[in-house]
Chains A and B, each alone.
Chain A
Amino acid sequence: MNLLGSLFQSSIGKKLLMAFTGLVLFGFVTGHLIGNLQIFLPPEKINAYGHMLESLGAVLWLIRLFLFACLVIHLWLAIQLTLENRAARPVAYGVEHTNRATLASRLMARSGLVVLAFLLFHLAQFTVRIGHPEWSEHTYQLANGPAVRDVYNMVVHGFSSVSVSVFYIIAVGLLSYHLSHGVVSLLQSLGLKNERWTRGLEGFAVAYCWGYFLLNAAIPLAVLGGFVQLHS
C-alpha cells in the first residue's frame, strides 16, 4: 500500500493523522486565544492584529485552507474510527466496567461534536458575519495607519448577548475537556510518550486546559460584566 493509503486506511495510520491534525488544531486554538486576549489591551492592538492577518491575503487563505483540511480529516477519521470501534464489539457486556479510561477520553466524540457546532456558529458570527453585515462596515482608524475593520467592537457586540456568551463558555469548556485527553493522547499516537514523562505531561495538560478555559471564558465574562466596553 502506498503512503497515503496506509495513513488513511490502517488503524495506526488513522491515529497518526488524528494526532497530527489534532496537533495542528491545538496549535491553532492556542494561537487564536493568544490573539483574542488582546481584547484586554487598548482597541488599537487587536484591530492592528486583525488587519495584519487580513492583509496576508493569499497566505491567509492558504492557512485557512490547511486548517480546514485538518479539520475535515480530523472529523472524517473521527467518524470512521467511531463506527469501526462500535462494530468491533457487536455484543455489549452485561456488566459495563471501566478501569481507568477517563470520562474525557470516553466523551471525545460528543465533546467534539458540540465544539464543531460551536465552530460553525462562531465562523458564521465573526468571520462571515451572517446577520450582522454592518459589522463588516465599521472601521477603526489605526494611530499611524489606515482605517481597518473594527474587530474590537465586533467582539464586544457579539458577546453582549447572554445566550451567545453562555454557548461560547460551554463550547470552550468542552473544547478544553476535549483537549485534556487529546493533548496527551496525540503524543501517545505519535509515539512520543512513555511513562517516564507521562505524569509531567498529564500535569501540563490539566494546567493548560484550565488555563485555556478560564482565559477564553474571561472574554465574554468581561464583556457581560462591563469590564470591556465599546470604544467610542
Chain B
Amino acid sequence: MVAEKPSKKLFSVTLRVWRQPGPAAPGKFVEYPAANVNPDMSFLELLDVVNDGLTVKGEEPIAFAHDCREGICGTCSCTINGKPHGPGHGIATCQLYMRSFQDGDVIVVEPFRAKAFPIQRDLVTDRAAFDKIQQAGGFISVRTGAAPDANSIPVPKEDADLAMDAAACIGCGACVAACKNASAMLFVAAKVSHLGLMPQGQPERDRRVLAMVQTMDAAGFGNCTNQYECSAVCPKNITHDFIARLNRDYAKALFRTRFKPVSGAAAGGAG
C-alpha cells in the first residue's frame, strides 16, 4: 500500500453543490468551478477556498459542517458523488484529499439525506436524533464518586478490544446517509454493543437496548435490510456484525423482560 508521492501538479475541478437557504426552503444544485487545486489539499480546504472566493464576490458561502478536521469529532458530513464522506475507505469527509480526484472531475456534493436528519442549510443537517437515542439509554448509570477500583472488575482483553471496535463510532451519521432506507442500525448497534460487551454494562443491558431501539424507531429512521451499505462507508470501519449482535440482544431482551419474574417492590424504589 505504498502510495507514490503524487506530483504537485495543480488541477481544476467543478463542484456541483446542493444549496438550500433554510430548512423549509427548496434546494438546488449550483456549480462552482475551482482552479489551482493542489492534490495535497483536503476536500474541506478546497471548500474553504471556494467559500472565500464566493465571499469576495459578495455571494453567500456554502454552509458545511466541520470541526476537528482529523476524522474524530464526526461533524463533517458531505455526500460526495453519492457516497457519504466521498471516495476512499474508512475516512471522514475531512480526511479526503484532493489527490483522490482528477483534473476536470465534476464533484457532486450533497448533504446527508434522511428524514431523521433535516437539512438546516446547504450541507448542514440536524443529527440531534442520535443524541436522543443516547439519552434514552446509551450509558451506564454510575454516579460520580460511586465507582469501585478500576481493576476490581477485570475485562477479558478480547471483550475490551471488541468493545473498543464498537466504541470507535464517531456519531457522524454516514451509516444513515448511505443506507438505502436511512436506517440508524449501525450507529445504535455500535453503541449497544460497546456497553453490552463490558461487564459494567450488564445490569442495564436489556433496558438499554429496548429503550434505544424504541427511540431510534420514533425518530423516523428506516429499517435495516441487511445490505451493509452502512459499514461500507463507516469512517471507523465498524462492522455490521454489531447489527447482528444488536438484533440478538434485542430479541433476548424482549423475551427476558417478558418472562423474567419481577419483584413486587420494583415499582416502589427505595424510600
Contacts and interface: CB of A to CB of B under 8 A. Distances in A.
B181 A88 contact: yes
Interface residues of B, number: 51
A81 to B, nearest CB: 5
B81 interface: yes
A1 to B, nearest CB: 8
Q: Which of B83, B223, B232, B258 has the most CB of A within 10 A?
A: B223
Interface string A28-63: 000000000000000000000000000000000000
Interface in B148-196: 178, 180-183, 185
Contacts of A149: none
B258 A190 contact: no
Interface in A1-30: 1-3, 6-7, 9-16
A81 B222 CA distance: 8
Contacts of B244: 187-188, 191-194
Nearest to B232: A99
B84 to A, nearest CB: 9
A3 B255 contact: yes
Contacts, number: 144
Contacts of B108: 94-95
Contacts of B241: 193-195
B40 interface: no
Interface string B101-145: 000000010100111100000000000000000000000000000
Given A85-B181, A88-B182, A195-B241, A12 B246 contact: yes
Interface in B224-259: 224-229, 232-233, 239-241, 243-251, 254-255, 258
Given A81-B223, A98-B180, 13 more contacts: A11-B224, A12-B247, A14-B223, A84-B181, A93-B79, A95-B79, A99-B232, A100-B229, A105-B227, A106-B180, A191-B250, A194-B244, A195-B239
10 contacts: A85-B181, A85-B182, A88-B182, A88-B221, A91-B113, A93-B82, A188-B240, A189-B247, A191-B247, A193-B244
